[in-house]
Amino acid sequence: MKWEERIPDLLRKFETLTARLADPATLGDPATLREVAREHAELAPMVEAAQRLGRVRAQLAEARELAESGEDADLRELARAEVEDLAAQEDALTAELRRLLVPKDPLADRAAVVEIRAGTGGDEAGLFAGDLFRMYTRYAERKHWSVELVDVSEGEVGGYKEVVFVVRGKDAYGELRNESGVHRVQRVPATESQGRIHTSAATVAVLPEAEEVDVEIKEEDLRIDVYRSSGPGGQSVNTTDSAVRITHIPTGVVVTCQDEKSQHKNKAKALKVLRSRLLDARIAAQEAERARERKTMVGTGDRSAKIRTYNFPQGRVTDHRIGLTLYRLQDVLDGDLDELVQALKLAREMEHLEASASAGV
């Protein structure tokens, strides 16, 4: 079905939902009301764009008829100018409606499990991992999201060897998913006495928080070890065997959690991260299969490539996937990520549109 053939069904569904919102039976059932209101709100922008497109096309047909058959020469000239203006509006509304009709990522509303690991560059890589952790927590504050720490392995001179945390809030995974990849920093390390610029890297993995229905984990497939927590914490953190390490035997995936004082809480957190990693592996395999069929710009799940460079001497941030360079490095590191995040989301949407167009959808 071509995308325009979906519009009549879309309008009918919207009318049905509008009627249900006024139905006493719906109003008397809070759960049903929430679900119907959510669907209605999701369809409203598409319906508005479709209605505007219909009006513009009707006006365009009238203007073309007048431009071709009008008896008055001045009137025909005015009609031709109107045709140009309305044709431009039609193109813009068509593009907007096609974008709105791109199926929403069903995982976009999930919480995001973010894993940052120091890469090449020794101590400087650990410091940079700390900078990225601060950047994402600041971004979460700007979005009024919550951040829940899962596991931390601190570096010897500061920063982190590894830090795992969960970001909860509206569209958290949908906003952050394109941050996955290798982040590179170019700067003079604090430990460098000669003032030479070094290049270091850290990897970021953003996974959708998995639910139990997404991934089935059998108890016999798990090896669970407990040990004494290390690092800063409350009085009992370093004195009890509260830290948990879970190994998923079939895949070899290992997850640790030591942030809570309770062994049971650490186990529950670790299981959530394990489910998310297994779900992410399944998604990555699906995207890799699709990538063999078409060239993808963003989001193939391949985390081996450098995606972004933070250059301190020039005060710039460059995202290599979309060729976007911003000369406000400190603002970005302070959590002002919106321009990058939205540009990457748009690139992903355009990629889906191109794929749909080539398939005649």
- pLDDT tens readout for residues 219-237: 888 898 888 766 544 444 4
User: What is the structure's pLDDT at 262?
Assistant: 83
Q: How large is the greatest C-alpha to C-alpha distance in the chain, in angstroms?
A: 94
Q: Which of 136-140, 185-189, 354-358 has the lowest mean pLDDT?
A: 354-358
Residue with tokens 């069904």: 9
Of the two residues 133 and 109, the one the predictor is more confident about is 133
User: What is the structure's pLDDT at 236?
Assistant: 43
When pLDDT is cut at 50, 70 and 90, the band that residue 312 belongs to is very high
The mean pLDDT value for 130-146 works out to 97
Q: Is the pTM of this model over 0.75?
A: no
The mean pLDDT value for 4-11 works out to 84
* CA–CA distance, 267 with 277 (Å, rounded to integer): 15
User: What is the structure's pLDDT at 41?
Assistant: 92
User: What is the structure's pLDDT at 70?
Assistant: 63
Q: What is the pLDDT of residues 18-59, one digit of tens each?
A: 999 999 999 999 999 999 998 999 899 999 999 999 999 999
User: What is the structure's pLDDT at 1?
Assistant: 45
Structure letter (DSSP) for residue 156: B
* CA–CA distance, 277 with 271 (Å, rounded to integer): 10
User: What is the structure's pLDDT at 355?
Assistant: 62
Residue extents of the structural domains in the chain: 3-100, 112-352
Q: What is the pLDDT of residues 166-202, one digit of tens each?
A: 999 999 999 999 999 999 999 998 766 677 899 999 9
Name the amino acid, one letter, at 41: A
User: Per CATH, which fold does 112-352 belong to?
Assistant: Alpha-Beta Plaits (3.30.70)
Name the amino acid, one letter, at 282: R
Residues sharing a CB contact under 8 Å with residue 174, sequence separation 6 or more, in sequence order? 105, 107, 108, 109, 345
Residues sharing a CB contact under 8 Å with residue 209, sequence separation 6 or more, in sequence order? 110, 111, 112, 113, 166, 173, 272, 275, 276
3-state secondary structure 232-282: CCCCCCCCCCCEEEEEECCCCEEEEECCCCCHHHHHHHHHHHHHHHHHHHH
Residue with tokens 């995040």: 341
